[in-house]
Amino acid sequence: MVLDQLAPRFRVTFVGDTALGGSRGTLRAMDEWFQRLFRLLPDARFELREVAVDGPPWNTRIAGLFTVRATTALGEPYENVFVQYARLRYGRVSWYEIHEDSLRFSRLCARLGEHGVAEAVAPPITD
């Protein structure tokens, strides 16, 4: 599980002013964030298209280009692209930041909210 890969001290940021936006630095907040992600996109599948890795074990930097495909909470198909930057210290994630096509995701959240999915328009989970 992703939570097991986080360092004791970490910071995770999903860029954008959406229900998934904001930064988190506790396991509790990250667990809540992943639960929300999979309630909004229940069958999300992530395809890593490109990856670049650099640095020593105590400061490994990774950049990845991804495509996410899913069925929304309304049963509609969803696809988006994102770049994820991460820093690892001895194999544990100490920092990562996700830059998704925020306009596409924001439109999805608005549509879900219009159809009664309140969590799609809820404030971000942060700590």
pLDDT digits (tens, 9 = 90+) for 72-124: 988 999 999 999 999 999 999 999 999 999 999 999 999 999 999 999 999 99
Position 1 pLDDT exceeds 80: no
Q: Residue 85's Cα: distance from chain center in Å?
A: 11
DSSP sequence for 53-103: EES-TTSEEEEEEEEEEEE-TTS-EEEEEEEEEEEEETTEEEEEEEEE-HH
Would you state the structure tokens that stand for residue 9, as one six-digit string?
A: 């001290």
How far apart (Å, rounded) are the C-alpha atoms in residues 126 and 120? 15
